[in-house]
């Protein structure tokens, strides 16, 4: 509630009246709302001891000015917060070509763009994506878009294929390598005995550079679509099926199995079958000796 204390001062000069409350020029009052003495100047109520009533109503500021409190009243003033009288805005900045706006700790300012680590400088290959490596953007394989790329990391838990196939697998070379169906059928036998056994067209010593190397060599030397026979394969073929192997000669030795892989001295022997007049016998032969290879197909 406003409290008004009215004091009347008379004068011989005619003045217009103040309103809110109504009074003649020269009258004084105490404005309880603002706790200030005011007097009527014939038009407005003026705060005594100040430049004007403590409101923004009587201010007429220029474009760009703001209202500021000067400890006694509100006054029109330039916005000098920040730099150059523009305040903390970007409107007063005029940057050169190639510059960027940066916060320098107190104001926004024009500055040279020192961050050259952008995507514009990257030249990625087809299918790659951009990845942050902890310090820069780099081109990298997309490990999530078309599936998890197992080739670039080691699994740390069970691999659940969720009924999906693993395709394009090469033949195993180590004991714990995965094997394809074709390799298992060829080396374990899709049936008790092969449907046909034949010899390679040329000879080779026992060093084929591993199982995969032996398989590659027989396919290039007359046994395309076959795999290297084992001794049980040959025994079942001849004695169980009663078949003969074309080209085998008495006294001849023939490589089979996986012996002699990467032999290093002539004293090493590998798995071999010898043809005799009474049939065949399992034998071992010096790995340095050249012989044909027995090839099986089911």
pLDDT in tens, 118-152: 777 788 888 888 888 888 888 887 766 555 566 66
Q: Phi-psi bin for 251: left (phi > 0), alpha (psi -120 to 50), beta?
A: left
Q: Quick one: pLDDT at residue 129?
A: 86
Residues 51-57 have a mean pLDDT of 58
- Of 20-29, 46-55, 59-68, 159-168, the one with minimum mean pLDDT is 46-55
- Of 62-66, 143-147, 198-202, 275-279, the one with minimum mean pLDDT is 143-147
**Phi and psi dihedrals of 14, rounded to 5?**
-80, 130
Closest CA to 271 of 191, 211, 216, 219: 211
Spatial contact of 43 and 16, defined as CB atoms under 8 Å apart: yes
Q: Phi-psi bin for 132: left (phi > 0), alpha (psi -120 to 50), beta?
A: beta
Spatial contact of 170 and 212, defined as CB atoms under 8 Å apart: yes
Residue 14 reports pLDDT greater than 50 = no
What is the β-pairing status of strands 292-297 and 227-228? antiparallel
Spatial contact of 295 and 246, defined as CB atoms under 8 Å apart: no
CA angle centred on 100, ends 96 and 103, rounded to 5°: 125
Q: Which domains does the chain have, with CATH numbers?
A: 1-56 (no CATH), 183-297 (3.10.100)
End-to-end CA distance of the chain: 109
Residue 5 reports pLDDT greater than 90 = no
Q: Quick one: pLDDT at residue 12?
A: 43
Q: Model pTM greater than 0.95?
A: no
Residue 88 reports pLDDT greater than 60 = no
Residue 178 reports pLDDT greater than 90 = no
Q: How many other C-beta atoms lie within 10 A of the C-beta of residue 38?
A: 22
pLDDT in tens, 197-211: 899 999 988 888 877
Q: Quick one: pLDDT at residue 220?
A: 93
Q: How many other C-beta atoms lie within 10 A of the C-beta of residue 225?
A: 9
Spatial contact of 193 and 296, defined as CB atoms under 8 Å apart: no
pLDDT in tens, 213-263: 888 899 999 999 898 888 888 888 888 778 888 888 777 888 887 777 666
Q: Give the pLDDT band of residue 89 (cuts 50, 70, 90).
A: low
Q: Give CA torsion, residues 169, 172, 175, 176, to 10 deg.
A: -10
Q: What percent of the chain has pLDDT over 70?
A: 77
């Amino acid at each position: 509630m406003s409290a008004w204390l009215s004091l009347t001062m008379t004068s011989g000069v005619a003045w217009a009246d103040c309103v809110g409350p109504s009074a003649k020029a020269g009258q004084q009052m105490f404005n309880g709302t603002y706790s200030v003495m005011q007097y009527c100047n014939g038009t407005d109520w003026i705060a005594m001891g100040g430049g004007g009533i403590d409101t923004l109503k009587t201010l007429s500021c220029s474009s760009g000015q703001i209202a500021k409190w000067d400890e006694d009243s509100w006054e029109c003033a330039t916005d000098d917060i920040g730099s150059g009288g523009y305040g903390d805005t970007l409107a007063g900045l005029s940057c050169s070509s190639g510059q960027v706006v940066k916060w320098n700790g107190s104001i926004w300012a024009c500055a040279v763009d020192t961050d050259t680590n952008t995507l514009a400088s990257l030249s990625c290959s087809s299918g790659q994506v951009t990845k942050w490596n902890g310090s820069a953007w780099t081109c990298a394989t997309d490990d999530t878009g078309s599936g998890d790329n197992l080739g670039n990391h080691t699994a740390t838990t069970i691999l659940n294929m969720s009924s999906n196939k693993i395709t394009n697998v090469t033949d195993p070379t180590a004991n714990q390598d995965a094997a394809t169906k074709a390799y298992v059928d060829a080396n374990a036998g899709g049936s008790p005995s092969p449907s046909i056994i034949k010899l390679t067209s040329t000879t080779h010593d026992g060093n084929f550079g591993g199982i995969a190397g032996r398989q590659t060599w027989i396919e290039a030397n007359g046994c395309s679509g076959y795999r290297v026979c084992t001794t049980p394969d040959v025994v079942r073929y001849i004695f169980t099926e009663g078949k003969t192997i074309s080209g085998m000669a008495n006294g001849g030795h023939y490589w089979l199995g996986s012996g002699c892989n990467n032999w290093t001295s002539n004293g090493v022997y590998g798995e071999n079958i010898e043809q005799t007049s009474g049939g065949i016998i399992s034998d071992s032969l010096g790995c340095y000796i050249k012989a044909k290879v027995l090839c099986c197909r089911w």
